[in-house]
Amino acid sequence: MPLGRMQVKVLPTQMEIDGSFGKRWRAKPNPGETQLKYSTLCFLFLFAVVAASDIQAQRQMELLDRGVVAVKTDDKVFISWRLFANEPQETTFNLYRLSSDGSSTRLNEQPLAAGTNFVDQQTVGSPNDRYFVNTIGPDGEGKASTAVPIWRSGYAEIPIQVVEGYRAGDVSIADLDGDGQYEFVLHQISNPKDNSHSGITGSPILDAYEWNGRLLWRVHLGKNVREGEHYTPFLVYDLDGDGKAEVACKTADGTVDGKGNVVGDATKDWRDTDETSRSFGRILDGPEYFTVFSGQDGVALETVDYIPGRDPIDGWGGIGGNGGNDRYGNRCDRFLACVAYLDGERPSVVMCRGVYGRIVLVAWDWREGRLTRRWTFDSGISYPPYSDASPFSGMGGHSLSVADVDGDGRDEIVYQAMVVDDNGKGLYSTGLRHGDAMHVSDLDPDRPGQEVFTVQENEGSTVRFQTPGAAMRDARTGEILWSHSPGVDVGAGIAADIDPRHFGCEAWGGPGGLRNAKGESIGRSPRSTGYAVWWDGDLLRELIGRNGVTKWNWETQQEETIFAIEGRGAPRGPNLMGDIIGDWREEIVTTAPDGKSLRVYSTTVPTDHRIYTLMQDPQYRLGIAWQNVAYNKPPHTSFFLGNAMQAPPIPILRQTGN
């Protein structure tokens, strides 16, 4: 392993404390019982796109291929593919089977105009059979998609090179090489520790893999980056618009990039190795860095100081959680991160520190090979004897979300109980304090705009605040729409449309069972509170349970397994889940039982519902980018996707890539 020093830029610390509230509002039409009949609405959509383009800028987003996937099911093959947001919604397709002799057979008698999926009823033939689709236009067929092989095991198997003593952790995806296909970035973990626990951990590793298992590069974050879900968020996204994604994360002395170059001083070991110390195994001295890596080869493109630093160590406690504080490195090393379109056009990275008291968010732009700081939000040191805290201190959680909550075309950072505006100023603080779960979407389509559902901790000295254990609020203003269980410690909760008898999303977590979008109790709730997934053929969302995909039976009030999954995931669920290939339904990525490969599972249930790929809904795509951060949560769309939904809005995109 080569030694040496890589130049590190030192930037001055900036602190901004601002509690100003925004007053913007976005109207949304009232939902009806309209089904997804895009052909009758196409003209209106195109008109809306043209009109909106004069108001809001185009968002730079990746250029994807058709994403065809073919999965063996019994003696048939299920095929699905992407519909794009920027093509006419009445686009039709022809589907072909390509045989090993080079001959192709069209499988559909009439152009495919409903759901972008099809079942090949013929007995599965040659192992070399492949499938591709063509669009049909006024002048005939367009360019054929890439022909893809069949997943004959019912899933895609991606071999991984696991280091001895390590196992597969979180996964993120992006197009690393500009070919229109996603690659996988895997976080390998070894002996991880929660911040509240002392001890030496392994050193985090990031790998990049193609679908065929080819290792593109490996980055060793090194011994001076502690392993654990609160320490190591990593962002994979095309940050500069060249069509090829970068990887951004916190680094330290001894980080080794994909070409063997060392960040900082490889000779330094900043870990506390005193086994009698409360901070044993922690890293509370030495420099902290922020690095952008090339997604193509893993080379470190630029490294700057991580802002803010950890000092004062005892300056990160407050009224969040149990209201405590510490000097051994628990609360000071709680990190979150996300990507957001702060100017409405190009993505920025937002690196975050702190959840229980002081909270600092720093926005960075990666442009033309350079990192520049856009803004810094700092809630202020909040624990006695410090007195300069703002109402935003103690409002963080173990996840975050990114959404345009005020409808101005630019993203806000939804940081559990508070929101930071696109300009780095505080939009509002609810006072709900810390919690472990949060979900942001158009959860109640009867109301304008989006809603936020959160659950809150009430323990130790903070029970006196009688904070609601769960609450639904207006995402734009922070107005609490309904809440329940004051003073109760609710550790998990989720919102998803699982019951067609109630319009909008249901929510559950804590006492009271399942509730509708208005907060009314409607019966017993599912046991699963981690992940929701669009899997079968209807518009309701399913759940990811212990052994696979479950569907909520609203009549018997029980979860029923509809798809079994072998394997294991990351510490808190699958390695990744989201709409990464095929039609708008979501995939589930797990680790094979032997730990030597990743498995990608995709639905094989036909549907006539036609929706563009969810990865072209900007809020959903950014949810995939932040999914690996701390306590993993499912991504949500910016619009209501559920029973009796309206046709989704068409995003205004400027696509990059080849």
Look up the CATH number of the domain holding residue 140. Answer: 2.60.40.10
Final residue in a domain of this structure, among 118, 153, 188: 153
* Residue 577 confidence (pLDDT): 97
Report the distance separating Cα 205 and Cα 189, nearest Å. 7
Give the amino acid at 176: L
Instruction: Please tell me whether residues 201 and 174 are part of one structural domain.
Output: yes
Instruction: Please tell me whether residues 196 and 264 are part of one structural domain.
Output: yes
Instruction: Establish if 191 belongs to a structural domain.
Output: yes
β partners of residue 365: 372
Q: Reply yes or no on whether the pLDDT at 233 is more than 90.
A: yes
β-strands 183-189, 104-106 pairing: unpaired
Report the distance separating Cα 24 and Cα 475, nearest Å. 11
Instruction: Please tell me whether residues 290 and 168 are part of one structural domain.
Output: yes
Per-residue pLDDT tens over the stretch 6-23: 334 433 333 333 333 232
Cβ proximity of 10 and 305 under 8 Å:
yes
The Cα-based distances of 479 to 287, 320, 387, 435, 451 in angstroms read 41, 20, 27, 17, 10
128: phi then psi, degrees, rounded to nearest 5: -95, 5
Instruction: Please tell me whether residues 289 and 170 are part of one structural domain.
Output: yes
* Residue 127 confidence (pLDDT): 81
Final residue in a domain of this structure, among 97, 132, 153: 153
Instruction: Please tell me whether residues 239 and 111 are part of one structural domain.
Output: no
Tokens of 418: 């508070």
Instruction: Please tell me whether residues 159 and 148 are part of one structural domain.
Output: no
Instruction: Establish if 314 belongs to a structural domain.
Output: no
Query: Hey, what's the torsion of the CAs at 170, 172, 177, 182, to 10 degrees?
Result: 120
CB atoms within 10 A of CB 72: 17
Final residue in a domain of this structure, among 153, 169, 195: 153
Instruction: Establish if 126 belongs to a structural domain.
Output: yes
Query: Hey, what's the torsion of the CAs at 565, 453, 396, 169, to 10 degrees?
Result: 10
The model's confidence at residue 124, banded by pLDDT at 50, 70 and 90, is low
Instruction: Please tell me whether residues 262 and 180 are part of one structural domain.
Output: yes
437: phi then psi, degrees, rounded to nearest 5: -150, 145
Q: Reply yes or no on whether the pLDDT at 297 is more than 50.
A: yes
Report the distance separating Cα 542 and Cα 559, nearest Å. 9
Write the DSSP symbol of residue 236.
E
Cβ proximity of 66 and 145 under 8 Å:
yes
The model's confidence at residue 139, banded by pLDDT at 50, 70 and 90, is confident
Instruction: Establish if 10 belongs to a structural domain.
Output: no
Instruction: Please tell me whether residues 145 and 244 are part of one structural domain.
Output: no
Cβ proximity of 151 and 72 under 8 Å:
yes
Cβ proximity of 576 and 627 under 8 Å:
yes
* Residue 75 confidence (pLDDT): 87
Instruction: Please tell me whether residues 229 and 161 are part of one structural domain.
Output: yes
Among 349, 419, 414, 339, which residue's Cα sits nearest to residue 622?
339
Instruction: List the alpha helices (DSSP H) in 300-395.
Output: none
Instruction: Establish if 40 belongs to a structural domain.
Output: no
Instruction: Please tell me whether residues 176 and 283 are part of one structural domain.
Output: yes
The model's confidence at residue 253, banded by pLDDT at 50, 70 and 90, is very high
Among 227, 207, 228, which residue's Cα sits nearest to residue 219?
207
Cβ proximity of 184 and 197 under 8 Å:
no
Among 480, 364, 478, which residue's Cα sits nearest to residue 429?
478
Instruction: Establish if 175 belongs to a structural domain.
Output: yes
pTM for the whole thing?
A: 0.92
Tokens of 114: 């409903």
Instruction: Please tell me whether residues 145 and 212 are part of one structural domain.
Output: no
CB atoms within 10 A of CB 637: 24
CA-only gyration radius of the chain, Å? 24
| Domain carrying residue 137 | 63-153
Tokens of 172: 């993120």
* Number of domains making up the chain: 2
User: Roughly how many angstroms between the first and final C-alpha of the chain, as a whole number?
Assistant: 36
Instruction: Please tell me whether residues 161 and 147 are part of one structural domain.
Output: no
Per-residue pLDDT tens over the stretch 361-374: 999 999 999 999 99
Q: Average of pLDDT values for 292-320?
A: 97
Q: In the predicted model, what is the mean pLDDT of the chain?
A: 91
Cβ proximity of 251 and 219 under 8 Å:
no
Instruction: Establish if 12 belongs to a structural domain.
Output: no
Tokens of 374: 């856009």
* Residue 57 confidence (pLDDT): 80
Q: Reply yes or no on whether the pLDDT at 379 is more than 80.
A: yes
Q: Average of pLDDT values for 181-189?
A: 98
β partners of residue 206: 187, 219
Residues comprising the chain, all counted? 658
Q: Average of pLDDT values for 284-309?
A: 98
Instruction: Establish if 341 belongs to a structural domain.
Output: no
* Residue 4 confidence (pLDDT): 35
CA 204, 208, 213, 214 dihedral sign is negative
Per-residue pLDDT tens over the stretch 598-607: 999 999 999 9
